[in-house]
Structure 1
């Protein structure tokens, strides 16, 4: 990827930021594909691709952060994050109840059980 004059194609930081942005986009696309898939095997494949891409994105972010190429977002108050998690869990529960109501509880998604989030009181008041 070197230009004819021997200089780099683009600075490493710009190249890594481009790759990072592309990995984020890919995760969104895989997630959409998984949610729109009717075939359990295809859905599982896209779930696995999503998780693999998230791991790769996380590794790249960590590497960039260690090289001071990417600054972490500011800390969030633990109570605000916990509040958002609780809202998401309530929405999820309402959605599950709606699906069970409409399918008579016979749908495979109506039987799913998800772990409940319990705020950890022993940690500091910020998430990183």
Structure 2
């Protein structure tokens, strides 16, 4: 209908921006589904869907950027990025320590076993 009169539903830039925003939302939904999946095959399916959608979103962003339809945000300061990375690493390490502490201190029927001399600080080989 619209194409016959050379009219479009909405301007191409607005349509592409809407699709881009929907892809971002879809990635968030797939990520949530991945983290809440108990079945390994379902988890893998949502991981694959997330990755495919991220690739499509990146391609669309690149196309829009090349055509001056999307302005990239300003560059972040390295010090701000480093601070965020350090905070994320600290949080991840604390979570790993908590999980390890809870899984190693639970005895029979969930009763804590008192372990003397065991340090609660565990080094993480993946992070500084």
TM range (shorter): 0.7 to 0.9
* 1:2 CA displacement: 2.2
Number of residue pairs aligned between Structure 1 and Structure 2:
110
Q: TM-score, normalised by structure 1?
A: 0.78
Question: How well do the aligned residues superpose, as a CA RMSD in angstroms?
Answer: 2.1
- Structure 1 unaligned blocks of 5 or more: 106-112, 118-128
Pair 1:83–1:38, CA change in 2 (3 A): same
How far, CA to CA, are the matches of 1:114 and 1:26 in structure 2?
33
Q: Deviations over 1:90-120 (max 9, x none)?
A: 1011111111112229xxxxxxx88447xxx
In structure 2, stretches of 5+ residues that fail to align are: 106-123
1:65 counterpart residue number: 65
Q: Which residue of 1 aligns with 2:47?
A: 47
How has the CA–CA distance of structure 1 residues 50 and 63 changed in structure 2, closer, same or farther, with 3 Å as cutoff? same
User: Residue 37 in 1 paired to residue 30 in 2?
Assistant: no
User: Which of structures 1 and 2 has the larger relative contact order (alpha carbons within 8 angstroms, sep 6+)?
Assistant: 1
Higher-Rg structure is: 2
Report the TM-score when normalising by structure 2.
Answer: 0.78
In 2, the alpha carbon distance for the partners of 1:114 and 1:53 equals 31
Return structure 1 stretches of 4+ with deviation > 6 angstroms. none
